[in-house]
Amino acid sequence: MQRLLILGGGTAGTMVAGKLRRRLDPADWQITVVDHDDDHLYQPGLLFLPFGDIQAQQIVKPRKRFLPDGVDLVIGEIARVDADACTAVLAGGRELRYDQLVIATGVSPRPDQTPGMLGPQWRRSIFDFFTLDGATALKAALKGFDGGRLVVHVTDMPIKCPVAPLEFTFLADAYFRGRGMRNRVEIVFVTPLPGAFTKPIAAERLGTMLDDREIVVEPDFLVERIDADHKTLISYDEREVPFDLLVTVPLNMGADFVARSGLGDELNLVPVDKHTFLSTQYDNIFALGDANNIPTSKAGSVAHFSVEVFADNFVQHIAGKPMTGSFDGHANCFIESGNGKGLLIDFNYDTEPLTGTYPLPIVGPFGLLKENARNHWGKLAFRWIYWHLLLPGRRIPLPANMSMAGKHQPVKEPQS
């Protein structure tokens, strides 16, 4: 009996379990998923929770519900992986042997990595929204906020869903306008990037949207510390950004056991081949979802598209054949912009987000880098798709690798 061990029961880990249970003979393969609890969190829902648009019980469900029959769920903390012995060790000493290992433990916010972020102002005037506790606490803080300077801040890249801080900023603008108090709130977006986004076409569009909403952008800001007593962000180049209410995205890091096991980089991300997700160190270890170091967004869509490629490759790999699938870094993200509207971006390793329509030319139905109600409803509808189609591993009729259909190529200036 061969053993497939999946560390992490989030989006990528659950999808892997579902797809491979269908592909691997139960008489030949045992599949086990390990996670620290039985609570599966729909992370995109955290964006809406602070504004009262969603309730916690709508975004947390039992992990076991989405694992197919024949997949074992082990609840426990992962202490380390002994890759040479093909063993994962849990806290308490239990050992789980494997023949093939998938690391899908994602990334987590680490406020402890920025001096002054944790302390007397944590969850008082300094909040995060990438955790359930943080988003819940922020909901109460926003409700009681009577005006002043709201700073939305990103510590460093990469982070889970890199557009989420922008979405929060747009939603905050709409939220305070809806309360009739936007004129009493100064909103500042502080980013380590040179602009609103990493790629120029999207950065220009999103930057214009921030300008239209009178949101100040503080670019190229690498935070060195937070002076909690004076409520001020301080950068390495000694710039200061004061705040009354700070909504921060702390440094995101992979699981600590990855470092203890000697499998990660400085952010505890597992180095892998960016097309096949096979570890650069071991030929029986893969890392999927946010847990690896591939140069694309740490977004749910990447987990979805990459698992589609991985499942076919894995079957070839265990049969001793070359892996023929090659992931191209495909990601797409709805960007909520407030007032019942949103945008959509679709891109990969080589192609930046472009204008156009998705997934079909002309008819769409979604507009790329276009703010409209269809994109907003698409984002809301995705929650149903996530629980009922994506997690159970059912096929969604979208290509894993990016298509150029419907996209408008930028016109190149003639060279003189």
Per-residue model confidence (pLDDT) at position 392: 87
Query: pTM of the prediction?
Result: 0.95
- Between CA 142 and CA 51 the distance in angstroms is 8
CA dihedral 157, 158, 164, 166 (to 10 degrees): 30
Per-residue model confidence (pLDDT) at position 289: 96
Structure tokens at 376: 């907003």
Q: Which residues pair with 356 in a beta bridge?
A: 368, 407
Per-residue model confidence (pLDDT) at position 396: 86
- Between CA 169 and CA 196 the distance in angstroms is 11
CATH 3.50.50.60 occupies which residues in the chain?
A: 2-108+253-318, 111-251
Edge-to-edge strand order for the sheet containing 223-227? 223-227, 232-235, 240-242
CA dihedral 279, 281, 285, 290 (to 10 degrees): -40
Nearest 5°: the CA angle 374, 377, 380 is 155
Q: What does R_g of the chain's alpha carbons equal in angstroms? A: 22
Tens place of pLDDT per residue across the chain (416 aa): 999 999 999 999 999 999 999 999 999 999 999 999 999 999 999 999 999 988 888 999 999 999 999 999 999 999 999 999 999 999 999 999 999 999 999 999 999 999 999 989 999 999 999 999 999 999 999 999 999 999 999 999 999 999 999 999 999 999 999 999 999 999 999 999 998 888 899 999 999 999 999 999 999 999 999 999 999 999 999 999 999 999 999 999 999 999 999 999 999 999 999 999 999 999 999 999 999 999 999 999 999 999 999 999 999 999 999 999 999 999 999 999 999 999 999 999 999 999 999 999 999 999 999 999 999 999 999 999 999 999 988 888 889 999 999 999 887 666 65
pLDDT tens digits, one per residue of 309-341: 999 999 999 999 999 999 999 999 999 999 999
- Between CA 229 and CA 120 the distance in angstroms is 9
Closest CA to 389 of 398, 49, 119: 398
Per-residue model confidence (pLDDT) at position 411: 74
* Burial (CB count within 10 angstroms: exposed 0-12, middle 13-18, buried 19+), residue 158: middle
Which fold is adopted by the domain 111-251? FAD/NAD(P)-binding domain (3.50.50)
Q: Which CATH number fits domain 2-108+253-318: 3.50.50.60, 3.60.15.10, 2.60.40.10, 2.60.40.1530?
A: 3.50.50.60
pLDDT tens digits, one per residue of 58-105: 999 999 999 999 999 999 999 999 999 999 999 999 999 999 999 999
